[in-house]
Chains A and B, each alone.
Chain A
Amino acid sequence: MAVAVAEHSVVVLDEDDRVVEELPPAQGHFGVYVPKSPLDELPSARAAFGPYFARARHTGEPVEFAEFVDGRVVQVAVVPEGRRLVVTWHTLGILDVLTLDGLRTSLAAIIETLAHTELALERSATRRSLRLVEGGL
């Protein structure tokens, strides 16, 4: 099994992706980045999250996605508020890399979690679209 975790963090990023606030303060692990950008501090973060942040700013619409990054599966919601972004981050599972057996088992669980979450997010987005269409009819 992937290592079970219940990490949850909500941060506010300014227009340069710098953490300006953690909600509530000191509850997650992104508070340490105030006033820096996690995209600069975490080597893999820019490639993994940068395009989603850019999309949310460009469209002005919330973006939600699941991603594997730095050995963990995360579900991230990005809500634009003016030039700022409110980013909610849930860690859904962490790869167990202690032994080959643990890696095998957790890798299968991680991939299943990622696929399941992506499917759920896709369905959720479709439902929202349908509600918009229905509301417009």
Chain B
Amino acid sequence: MTTRPTSFAVDAEDRIVRTSCQGEMAAFLGHPLWEYLPHAEKDLRPHFEEARRVGEVVTAVIFYGGRLIEMRIAPTGQSLAVDVTRAVPLELSSLRTLAASLSSFEEELGARVPGRHDRPALASRRALP
């Protein structure tokens, strides 16, 4: 996450309205977040929708850009304030490290499906092949 900001905010249309990053993301101010994070909408938007729906802080865990990313999404008026609190890179050095990494990610991703607050049954936690 070296080029990714640690915090940003989006409006009701998911346009970037604030960022703590002075680099790449700042150039996307006023643009949809999905232009800055291509193909992230499918995984991230349900968490945004949940935060808007419940009107409370939501903690989301998604996989994006080779990392497991944990973020805190806080509704603030018409916008959402997003803080990236953790980014764990996928270990790609060998099949052994990849398998261990995927196993750990699978646990976290399966436990953080939007709208599901209890831990899922083992059989339904197949987030990864």
A interface residues (Cβ-Cβ under 8 A, vs B)? 43-44, 47-48, 68-71, 95, 97-104, 107-108, 114
Interchain CA distance A97-B63 in the complex, whole Å = 9
Give 4 nearest A-B pairs by CB, closest first. Answer: A97-B66, A71-B92, A44-B93, A100-B63
Complex contacts, B63 vs chain A, CB 8 Å: 99-100, 103
Contact status of A44 and B128, CB under 8 A, knowing A102-B39, A103-B63: no
Q: Whole-angstrom distance from the CB of A32 to the nearest CB of chain B? A: 20
CB atoms of A95 and B65 under 8 A apart: no
Kindly identify which residue among B62, B95, B129 contacts A108, using a CB–CB cutoff of 8 Å.
Answer: B129
**Max count, chain A CB within 10 A of own CB: residue among B64, B92, B102:** B92
Q: CB of B81 within 8 A of chain A?
A: no
Complex contacts, B109 vs chain A, CB 8 Å: 100
User: Known contacts A99-B40, A103-B128; can you find 16 more A-B pairs with CB under 8 A?
Assistant: A44-B93, A47-B94, A48-B94, A68-B95, A69-B94, A70-B92, A70-B93, A97-B65, A98-B38, A98-B64, A98-B66, A99-B64, A100-B109, A100-B127, A107-B128, A114-B95
Complex contacts, A48 vs chain B, CB 8 Å: 94
Contact status of A99 and B94, CB under 8 A, knowing A104-B128, A104-B129: no
Interchain CA distance A70-B95 in the complex, whole Å = 9
Complex contacts, B92 vs chain A, CB 8 Å: 70-71, 95, 97
**Max count, chain B CB within 10 A of own CB: residue among A47, A68, A98, A100:** A100
Taken residue by residue from 89 to 129, chain B's Cβ proximity to chain A (1 for < 8 Å, 0 otherwise) reads as 01011110010001000000100000000000000000111
Q: Whole-angstrom distance from the CB of B128 to the nearest CB of chain A? A: 6
Q: CB of B43 within 8 A of chain A?
A: yes
Q: CB of B42 within 8 A of chain A?
A: yes
Kindly identify which residue among B40, B66, B94 contacts A68, using a CB–CB cutoff of 8 Å.
Answer: B94
Interchain CA distance A68-B66 in the complex, whole Å = 16
Listed A/B pairs (17) with beta-carbon separation below 8 Å? A44-B93, A47-B94, A68-B94, A69-B93, A70-B92, A97-B66, A97-B90, A98-B38, A98-B65, A98-B66, A99-B40, A99-B64, A101-B42, A102-B39, A104-B129, A107-B102, A114-B95
Complex contacts, A103 vs chain B, CB 8 Å: 63, 90, 128
CB atoms of A99 and B128 under 8 A apart: no
Interchain CA distance A101-B39 in the complex, whole Å = 10
Interchain CA distance A48-B94 in the complex, whole Å = 8
Kindly identify which residue among B43, B90, B129 contacts A99, using a CB–CB cutoff of 8 Å.
Answer: B43
